[in-house]
Amino acid sequence: MYIKLLQYRRFQESGGHWVLHYPGEILSVKNKDLCKELIKKGVAVDMGVAAEDLPKGCGLVMRQDGPIPSWVTALEMEMATGEPRLPFAYTIIWNPRSVPNPEFLTLTIGTLRERGWDLAVPLYSYTKLTDKLGSAEERKATKALIHDLRVPYYNTDLMFIKRNDRTKELITRWAEERQGTTDEKLAFIRALYQVKPFILPLPTICLRKK
């Protein structure tokens, strides 16, 4: 169960040591009775994200090997690791260097399931534009394709993708564009403009740096 803390609170971790958490933190807590008690006392609020909220066929591709975080375990998703791909009907592609905001997980997957979007990806910034990314050579190649670099770009650390012909082509084209590039965000922009899937831009608060 996910809760958002309104007050300071110590929780005992799996190793037995106690860790202090701060107001505003979103935590996955398996003890539902404890969650209900904290919510009742006004220490936390229910974030309403649970495994049963996700549609069947939803899974996670984690781009780096490492420990599985608590929010993944709590959502009981199927998992794979490695390069971006679409092994599930609804795939979350995630780079562990960034922390997702659980508020958006089931909401975004639900939107993909019920609406016409092919994928949803957070914007990287509301002010930074593509004309500042990558090398001069890569920007030139990108401009030749999209004509104007004064466009926002996406944070590819978190992607919600519905598997279909367009998104399978997008992932293939993105992999090709990443070959020899130093900036995968520019490569993603080039892939987007070639495939033209229906993409839903998400707010930057979907992700935060560790």
| C-alpha–C-alpha distance, residues 143 and 148, integer Å | 6
Q: In which band, very low, low, confident or very high, does the pLDDT at 151 lie, cut at 50, 70 and 90?
A: very high
pLDDT on residue 25: 76
Q: Coil, strand or helix: which one is 189?
A: helix
- 51-209 — its CATH code? 3.90.550
Q: What is the pLDDT averaged over residues 127-156?
A: 93
- Going from N- to C-terminal start, the domains of the chain cover 2-46, 51-209
Distance between CA atoms of residues 130 and 140, nearest Å: 11
Rg (the chain; Cα; Å)? 19
In angstroms, the Cα distances linking 140 to 120, 128, 137, 154 are 27, 18, 5, 19
Using the predicted structure, report yes or no on whether residue 62 has a pLDDT greater than 90: yes
The pLDDT, as a whole number, for residue 53 is 67
Q: Which residue has the higher pLDDT, 53 or 31?
A: 31
Q: What confidence score (pLDDT) does residue 77 get? A: 82
